[in-house]
Chains A and B, each alone.
Chain A
């Protein structure tokens, strides 16, 4: 009855949650009128055919005339065997379309995540070490700024200043450049910067408040008294206990922005990533692709929440698992 048991139960719960959300998505899409079917009917009516007949044919073609439970079972097996259907707007399997987009999303997500994990705690502890000085106020101001400015709006402004007026970054995202090239780095600077300012604010605030708690703690005074260097005190004695609550915040912040604002940032900067794909699928009324990307984001969100809980319990040795 220890950590393993807790994690097992937590993972099992995550599987149940995804299953429930998958079912809800299916119910939602089944209850709604299918745009492609009504489109077929409209087209038939325009060409002088029988709209009712065309509707029936379109339903038959997509297997919509089968009984509900059969369609549900088909759908669930499809979801879990990764057969997510055919994307009509992109003319390729949904999984392939999603993987292709993931390639572009990863290019800015990886530096963004690394920078947030590195910079957030650092700036927070620096702020706590210089509490109530002008440095602290500048850092706090920056945190609030990053937290409050709408990411998409910030992206537009940066693009205007650096892309249009100063002309140092390209305005149109170029998909042809190699991943590890200077051109790619330059065109990804702005989106990464926008997302880092967005995610660093909350992280910084939490790390500042948490580490401020430990700066005057007895064990830090002991360490100072026995002559431990300040750097080592911050790295070993203050950062470690701070990381426990902070890890939850970091995962939550990254997750929140990943499933939310990154979509807008991709649209603003024209990056053909997951968010952009989802958005285009909605515009093109491509049901399979909309469903596929929804599922993908749901999986990410569930895994993120799982990670959040597990990291917290793994990092804090004081937590007893028997009560959970």
Chain B
């Protein structure tokens, strides 16, 4: 009992001092999120109350980009992503180096990551600076640079006309549609749509999924039973048919689609988080945390969610491609939001000209395929890097 002597006795502990240091002060991440969100809200208010209805948001500084409501939601998602996914990697350089070492072993995944980062940057920044492509009927069906098209199909050939065939030019590297729109520009705009669909829907799914999972595991008993049975029911709903039904009733806007995708895809995540929460509660350190008086919120926030992060992240890499695919499928069926230039819209628009102008379908389709493929490789590598136990299990 010699060590007790150096410590203050129990009745001499200054509890106020400890209470004020109990981690209530905000972390850098929370402060950053709050400040950025504040800026965002300020822009939103400025846009709504000061900028006249028909002019672009940043006209005062001479920038012609008009911010639409979906952009605010997207920006908010990006803020959360930045402060709670990217910044922690910087804050824990040792773990980041370890993950990177593990991740680097999987070469297809590294290539996939580069591709996805390129799509992300182009999608977020491209539309801010590249003006949307205008319809120019005289320039319809221009081929991509390495292809030619019979001159009967084009009205005006931008490139060189040789032997009755029109060749592609650098002016339209991937050709044009039947409306004369530049396909490359449309694909870059489509990237932003895909990123919005992917990010916002995922945010919705992660929030609902983790909330359901943790509440279910923590409340236990009847609440757990009811919530998990609800998850069962939702899993039995054929989602594509449900989307058809809802879009048939309410009309297909991009907002509705993003909401639907987010709301009907969190079942897997809720199950993961619940089982993780249940297994974490059994651990010794958890009992210690509980005995020392941690609140449920603290336990969930600091122990359950970080512990289930690896399965949440792996699940996200499966969810995002599913969202992109669903959006493309609905657009292809003509049930998507026809006012946004998504990849699916472009594929669906080019279908009738497939026999002589296949690039209209091929270009966006290949980009979609490569993006989905990249997410799959990424998920595979992340599973190995974040969760070494899973690897030993499968071998």
Q: A: which residues have CB within 8 A of B?
A: 13, 17-18, 20-21, 25, 28-29, 32-33, 144-145, 147-150, 152-153, 156-157, 159-160, 164, 209, 212-213, 259-261, 263-264, 267, 278-279, 282-283, 285, 290, 293-294, 297-298, 300-302, 305
Q: Chain B contacts of A25 at CB under 8 A? A: 245
Cβ of B311 within 8 Å of any chain A Cβ, yes or no, is no
A264 to B241, CA, bound (A): 12
User: Quick one: which of A153, A209, A261 contacts B368, CB cutoff 8 A?
Assistant: A153
User: Quick one: which of B238, B249, B333 contacts A297, CB cutoff 8 A?
Assistant: B238
Q: Is the CB of A153 within 8 A of B347?
A: yes
Name the residue among A21, A148, A264, A283 with the largest chain B CB count within 10 angstroms.
A148
Q: Is the CB of B249 within 8 A of A28?
A: yes
At the interface, is chain A mostly helix, strand, loop or mixed?
A: helix
User: Can you give 19 contacting A-B residue pairs, CB < 8 Å?
Assistant: A18-B236, A20-B233, A149-B372, A149-B373, A152-B332, A259-B241, A260-B329, A261-B329, A263-B240, A264-B332, A278-B244, A283-B334, A293-B241, A294-B242, A297-B238, A298-B238, A301-B237, A302-B236, A305-B235
Given A28-B245, A263-B240, A264-B329, A164-B369 contact (CB < 8 Å): no
The smallest beta-carbon distance between B336 and chain A, in angstroms, is 13
A290 to B242, CA, bound (A): 10
- Identify the closest chain A residue to B245 (Cβ): A294
At the interface, is chain B mostly helix, strand, loop or mixed?
A: helix
Cβ of B246 within 8 Å of any chain A Cβ, yes or no, is yes
Q: Is the CB of B373 within 8 A of A21?
A: no
In the complex, number of A-B residue pairs with CB atoms less than 8 Å apart: 112
Q: Mark B360-386, 1 if CB is under 8 A from A, else 0.
A: 011001001100110011000000000
The smallest beta-carbon distance between A238 and chain B, in angstroms, is 15
Q: Is the CB of A301 within 8 A of B351?
A: no
Given A17-B233, A144-B377, A157-B362, A150-B249 contact (CB < 8 Å): no
Q: Is the CB of B249 within 8 A of A32?
A: yes
The smallest beta-carbon distance between A271 and chain B, in angstroms, is 15
- Identify the closest chain B residue to A156 (Cβ): B361
- Identify the closest chain A residue to B321 (Cβ): A148
Q: Is the CB of B236 within 8 A of A17?
A: yes
How big is chain B's contact interface, by range? Answer: 35 or more
A28 to B329, CA, bound (A): 23
Q: Chain B contacts of A29 at CB under 8 A? A: 245, 249
Q: Chain A contacts of B368 at CB under 8 A? A: 150, 153
Q: Is the CB of A17 within 8 A of B232?
A: yes
Q: Chain B contacts of A153 at CB under 8 A? A: 328, 347, 361, 365, 368-369
Q: Is the CB of A212 within 8 A of B395?
A: yes
Given A213-B395, A264-B329, A264-B333, A148-B237 contact (CB < 8 Å): no
A150 to B368, CA, bound (A): 8
The smallest beta-carbon distance between B96 and chain A, in angstroms, is 27
Q: B: which residues have CB within 8 A of A?
A: 232-233, 235-242, 244-246, 248-250, 321, 325, 328-329, 332-335, 347, 351, 354-355, 358, 361-362, 365, 368-369, 372-373, 376-377, 394-395
Q: Chain A contacts of B246 at CB under 8 A? A: 28
Q: Chain A contacts of B250 at CB under 8 A? A: 32
Q: Chain A contacts of B329 at CB under 8 A? A: 150, 152, 260-261, 264
Q: Is the CB of B237 within 8 A of A21?
A: yes
A294 to B351, CA, bound (A): 27
User: Quick one: which of A157, A285, A297 contacts B365, CB cutoff 8 A?
Assistant: A157
Q: Is the CB of B358 within 8 A of A278?
A: no
- Identify the closest chain A residue to B394 (Cβ): A209
A261 to B368, CA, bound (A): 16
Q: Is the CB of A305 within 8 A of B332?
A: no
A282 to B241, CA, bound (A): 10
Given A29-B245, A298-B238, 11 other A-B contacts at CB below 8 A? A21-B236, A32-B250, A148-B369, A148-B372, A259-B240, A267-B333, A290-B248, A293-B241, A294-B238, A297-B238, A298-B241
- Identify the closest chain A residue to B348 (Cβ): A152
Q: Chain A contacts of B249 at CB under 8 A? A: 28-29, 32-33
A269 to B185, CA, bound (A): 30
The smallest beta-carbon distance between A54 and chain B, in angstroms, is 21
Given A150-B365, A212-B395, A160-B241 contact (CB < 8 Å): no
A259 to B365, CA, bound (A): 22
Q: Is the CB of B333 within 8 A of A279?
A: yes
Q: Is the CB of B240 within 8 A of A21?
A: no
A247 to B382, CA, bound (A): 26
A212 to B329, CA, bound (A): 35
A300 to B249, CA, bound (A): 23
Given A282-B248, A298-B236, A150-B328 contact (CB < 8 Å): yes
A213 to B354, CA, bound (A): 46
Given A149-B369, A213-B395, A160-B354 contact (CB < 8 Å): yes
Q: Chain B contacts of A290 at CB under 8 A? A: 244-245, 248
User: Quick one: which of B244, B325, B333 contacts A150, CB cutoff 8 A?
Assistant: B325
A164 to B355, CA, bound (A): 7
Q: Chain B contacts of A260 at CB under 8 A? A: 238-240, 329
Q: Chain A contacts of B238 at CB under 8 A? A: 259-260, 294, 297-298, 300-301
Q: Chain B contacts of A297 at CB under 8 A? A: 238, 241
A10 to B329, CA, bound (A): 33
- Identify the closest chain A residue to B350 (Cβ): A156
The smallest beta-carbon distance between A299 and chain B, in angstroms, is 10
Considering the complex of A and B, which 3 residue pairs feature the smallest CB-CB distances, nearest first? A148-B373, A259-B238, A32-B249
A279 to B247, CA, bound (A): 12
- Identify the closest chain A residue to B237 (Cβ): A21
The smallest beta-carbon distance between A301 and chain B, in angstroms, is 5
